[in-house]
DNA sequence: GTCTATATAAAGATAGAC
DNA sequence: GTCTATCTTTATATAGAC
């Protein structure tokens, strides 16, 4: 089955941004990898590279929240779901040397100060993630407020853990998170 | 007292990188803000922009670890020191809209995949921070292993909290960290 | 140690034929 | 919807006078 040009561009660009960051990848490299011309590219993205970036961020965002939802539906408690989810991140990192969620962290760090729409897109993803965590924690018996605070802690800790793994090129940080985080997820 | 050109460049560049990221700031902008010429710049940094970046990272690294050490010497327990430290981050963010430690996160996200020496410099800072936390936790009575794990959690959580604050342009995430983190720092 | 002037490459974007 | 050719601006970096 043939993929249409627009989604081809999004897929290729997403993985290139993941590898080298937004500014680290030129349009020329993107269209070369896609085997298309500049004319074709600007037909699909009249507002250029930043429009493409937003499309990529939305595509990754859907993939990530889809993944998270799967885990939080499959396992009975937030604690178990979180453990399994982090195990998958570790697995991914050890096999491919990268983590999809990291692209977000990376790009909001790089572009958040320069582009409001990029910052908003990234902000929306963090909120979507927290909402999934929070709902499960409430189902586990947490109060609304406690669930929200804890969901925020989870998001921050996992994001931070991913950064440490990528920076130090080892998977230990996330592994340690996976047995430290549950301490916060037990209802007291 | 006159500042020598080299440290002037480092100071100016540091704050520009902080505002717009490494790739977001051109050499031309740096030298213009410094009121110097390209010739002068390359005299001090023969290997160009990346050499300057490393110098900036080292300078921020010293400032950050100095700050952290102050807190962890002044307050009797890791729990108190951490609380005060995060309060200062919040304060800084609310007054200036930025956080020094964020520059690191931002730059390692942007450049870590492209430059080994940048990645190594950032990795070294994270380790220095963890060592300070870890030493204090051991003094509080934690075992060597528990102290190391907890120090890692602190680092990740604070980094993640900073990212969330910057991405969402609100200080709530760090505020919540400051009363959630202590749960991890109490000896059981 | 600082300057001006220049080199060279690459970036993002556009025009207009097909 | 895709192409080639071109435009404009910007990037980092260098040469050589003072």
Q: Which domains does chain A have, with CATH numbers?
A: 53-185 (1.10.357.10)
Answer whether A17's CB lies under 8 Å from A56's CB.
yes
Nucleic strand C near CB of residue B28 (< 7 Å):
no
User: Are B132 and B65 in contact, with CB atoms under 8 Å apart?
Assistant: yes
Residue A83 has pLDDT above 90, yes or no: yes
Task: Check CB contact of A110 with chain B, cutoff 8 Å.
Answer: yes
Instruction: Give the pLDDT score at A100.
Output: 86
DSSP annotation of A97 reads S
Indicate yes or no: CB of A160 within 8 angstroms of CB of B157.
yes
Mean pLDDT of A133-140: 97
- Are residues A157 and B157, on separate chains, in Cβ contact within 8 Å? yes
Taking the CA of residue A27 and the C1' sugar atom of nucleotide D12, their distance in angstroms comes to 19
Supply the pLDDT for residue A183. 86
**Average pLDDT value for residue range A31-52:** 98
> Which residue of chain A comes nearest to B112, CA vs CA?
A167
Q: Which residue is nearest to nucleotide D1 (CA to C1')?
A: A40
The pLDDT score that the predictor gives to residue B3 is: 84
- H-helix or E-strand spanning residue B150: helix B144-168
| Residues of chain B positioned with their CB less than 8 A from the CB of A149 | 176, 180
Decide if B177 and A153 are in contact by the 8 Å CB cutoff: yes
Structure tokens at B171: 């200080």
Confidence at residue A70, expressed as pLDDT on a 0 to 100 scale: 98
pLDDT in tens, chain B (188 residues): 668 999 999 999 999 999 899 999 999 999 999 999 999 999 999 999 999 999 999 999 999 999 999 999 999 999 999 999 999 999 999 999 999 888 888 899 889 989 999 999 999 999 999 999 999 999 999 999 999 999 999 999 999 999 999 999 999 999 999 989 988 888 65
Angle at A75 between CA A70 and CA A77, to 5 degrees: 120
Size of the A and B interface in Cβ pairs below 8 Å? 152
- pLDDT at position A27 is 98
Q: Which nucleotides of C are covered by protein (CB under 7 A)?
A: 1-6, 10-17
What's the pLDDT at A158? 97
**Residue A102: per-residue pLDDT:** 85
Q: What is the pLDDT of residue A187?
A: 64
Distance CA B92, CA B69 (A): 18
Residue A160's closest CA among A91, A109, A84, A97?
A109
Predicted confidence at residue B76, as pLDDT, reads 97
**Mean of the per-residue pLDDT values of chain A:** 95
Name the residue of chain B whose CA is nearest to A121's CA: B167
Q: Token pair for residue B140? A: 């509080």
The pLDDT assigned to B188 comes to 58
The pLDDT of A105-115, averaged and rounded, is 91
Test A156 with B149 for CB contact under 8 angstroms. no
Chain B residues lying within 8 Å of A157, measured CB to CB: 153, 156-157, 160
Q: Which residue has the higher pLDDT, A132 or B101?
A: A132
Residue A62 has pLDDT above 70, yes or no: yes
pLDDT at A132 over 80: yes
Q: What is the CA radius of gyration of chain B?
A: 18
pLDDT of residue A103: 83
């Amino acid at each position: 089955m043939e993929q249409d040009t627009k989604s081809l561009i999004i897929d290729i660009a997403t993985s290139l941004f993941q590898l080298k960051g937004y500014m680290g990848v030129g349009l020329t490299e993107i269209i070369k990898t896609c085997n298309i011309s500049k004319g074709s590219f600007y037909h699909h993205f009249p507002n250029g590279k930043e429009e493409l970036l937003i499309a990529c961020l939305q595509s990754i965002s859907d993939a990530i929240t889809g993944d998270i939802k799967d885990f939080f539906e499959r396992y009975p408690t937030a604690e178990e779901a979180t453990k399994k989810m982090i195990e998958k991140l570790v697995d991914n990192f050890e096999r491919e040397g990268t983590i999809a969620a990291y692209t977000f962290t990376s790009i909001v760090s790089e572009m958040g100060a320069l582009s409001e729409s990029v910052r908003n897109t990234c902000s929306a993803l963090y909120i979507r993630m927290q909402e999934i965590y929070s709902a499960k924690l409430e189902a586990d018996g947490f109060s609304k407020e406690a669930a929200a605070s804890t969901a925020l802690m989870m998001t921050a800790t996992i994001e931070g853990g991913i950064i440490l793994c990528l920076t130090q090129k080892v998977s230990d940080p996330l592994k340690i998170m996976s047995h430290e985080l549950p301490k916060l997820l037990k209802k007291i």
